[in-house]
């Protein structure tokens, strides 16, 4: 997210959003031997790479960092954004770097071609920052996408994540995985969903931005992130980056 822009909230936009979510561009039936939790960080602020990664690593877990390379080094509403050093350290520790467009654009407000150009520009910029392996997952900025874009995702992207809450189990769309915000009201919903997800052996994805003792409105308090992972572990969840989680799906 950025403070300067927020997607339209009028009725038509809401209806389009619902239609987009219901259009399964990459339908899949997801089943897992164990419940799986993925913690993801969008944009991403430097604090997510420092304190956020520390908390995950203390639990022996790793996360997915959706980077918009055009925001690197800039100050945003969630604090200073990541640097090349953050990317290097995350990769060395085994975290995943995903795509979040280059300029953090609203993909529902531009052509498919422009979105694909954004993905390619981000891929090249991330390579320059030291991401040598292929980026295998993306998250749409603001969760915004279109049926046409979902159907046109490059095959190298095995998954794309939105922001609509829900469990990823049974019938799902790999072009718009469901995810809970780990801030505001949806965070409470995510915590409540964990027990349900454990029983169904579902894949739960959480997303946030900064991590600190006093986070922004779009960030997560360090103690709450720690408590969430502790609870998930007690319920038998594996905690894996998005692409590793996807590879755990049963045939
Ligand atoms: Zn974002």
- DSSP labels for 156-209? T--EEE------B-EEEETTSB--EESSHHHHHHHHHHHHHHHHHT-EEEEEES
| Contact (CB, 8 A) for 208 and 220 | yes
User: How many A from CA of 216 to the centre of ligand 1?
Assistant: 14
Query: How many angstroms separate the alpha carbon of residue 104 from the centre of ligand 1?
Result: 6
Q: What CATH number is associated with residue 161?
A: 3.20.20.370
Distance 208 CA to ligand 1 centre (A): 9
Task: Give the pLDDT confidence score for residue 5 in this predicted structure.
Answer: 87
Distance 250 CA to ligand 1 centre (A): 30
Question: What are the residues whose beta carbons fall under 8 Å from the beta carbon of 71, sequence distance 6 or more?
Answer: 2, 43, 81, 82, 104
150 occurs within a structural domain: yes
Look-up of token digits 């996408």: 145
Segment 25-52, tens digit of pLDDT: 999 999 999 999 999 999 999 999 999 9
C-alpha 53 to ligand 1 mean position (Å): 18
Which pLDDT does position 3 carry in this prediction? 53
Please write the tens of the pLDDT for every residue from 192-222. 999 999 999 999 999 999 999 999 999 999 9
Q: How far is the CA of 139 from the centre of ligand 1 (A)?
A: 8
Tally Cβ neighbours within 10 Å of residue 11.
Answer: 8
Task: With respect to residue 15, please indicate whether it lies within any of the assigned structural domains.
Answer: no
Decide if 180 is inside a domain. Answer: yes
Contact at 8 Å (CB) between 176 and 12?
A: no
Q: Are residues 176 and 145 in contact, defined by beta-carbon separation less than 8 angstroms?
A: yes
> Which residues are found with C-beta within 5 Å of the ion, ligand 1?
1, 42-43, 141
Give the pLDDT of residue 186. Answer: 87
CA 251 to ligand 1 center in whole angstroms: 32
For residues 13 and 133, what is the distance between their CA atoms, to the nearest angstrom? 36
pLDDT of residue 4: 75
- What are the pLDDT tens digits along the chain (251 aa)? 545 789 998 999 999 999 999 999 999 999 999 999 999 999 999 999 999 999 999 999 999 999 999 999 999 999 999 999 999 999 999 999 999 999 999 999 999 999 999 999 999 999 999 999 999 999 999 999 999 999 999 999 999 999 999 999 999 999 999 999 999 988 999 999 999 999 999 999 999 999 999 999 999 999 999 999 999 999 999 999 999 999 999 99
Going from the Cα of 141 to the center of ligand 1, the distance in angstroms, rounded, reads 4
Indicate the number of domains in the chain: 1
Nearest to residue 210, comparing CAs of 201, 202, 219? 219
The residue segments making up the domain with residue 56 are: 39-247
Residue 25 placed within a domain: no
Going from the Cα of 101 to the center of ligand 1, the distance in angstroms, rounded, reads: 9
Instruction: Compute the distance between CA of residue 159 and CA of residue 58 in angstroms, rounded to an integer.
Output: 27
Inside any domain, residue 178: yes
Query: Which CA distances in Å does 31 have to 36, 163, 167, 229?
Result: 10, 21, 11, 21
Centroid of ligand 1 to alpha carbon of 234 (angstroms): 30
**pTM for this predicted structure:** 0.97
Residue 131 counted as domain residue: yes
Could you tell me if residue 105 is inside a domain?
yes
Q: Is residue 34 a part of any domain in this protein?
A: no
């Amino acid at each position: 997210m950025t403070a300067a822009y927020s997607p339209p909230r009028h009725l038509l936009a809401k209806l389009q959003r619902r239609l987009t979510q219901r259009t399964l561009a990459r339908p899949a039936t997801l089943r897992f031997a164990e419940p799986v939790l993925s913690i993801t960080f969008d944009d991403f602020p430097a604090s997510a790479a420092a304190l956020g990664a520390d908390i995950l690593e203390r639990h022996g877990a790793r996360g997915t960092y959706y980077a918009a390379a055009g925001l690197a080094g800039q100050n945003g509403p969630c604090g200073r954004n990541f640097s090349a050093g953050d990317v290097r350290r995350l990769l060395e520790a085994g975290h995943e770097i995903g795509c979040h467009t280059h300029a953090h654009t609203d993909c529902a407000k531009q052509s498919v071609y422009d979105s694909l150009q954004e993905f390619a520009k981000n891929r090249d910029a991330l390579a320059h920052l030291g991401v040598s392996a292929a980026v295998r997952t993306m998250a749409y900025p603001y969760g915004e996408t279109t049926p046409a874009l979902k159907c046109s995702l490059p095959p190298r992207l095995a998954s794309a994540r939105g922001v609509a809450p829900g469990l990823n189990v049974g019938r799902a769309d790999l072009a718009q995985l469901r995810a809970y915000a780990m801030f505001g009201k949806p965070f409470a919903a995510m915590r409540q969903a964990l027990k349900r997800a454990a029983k169904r052996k579902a894949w739960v994805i959480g997303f946030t931005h900064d991590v600190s003792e006093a986070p922004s409105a779009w960030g997560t308090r360090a103690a709450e992130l720690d408590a969430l992972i502790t609870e998930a572990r007690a319920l038998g969840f594996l905690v894996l980056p998005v692409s590793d989680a996807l590879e755990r799906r049963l045939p």
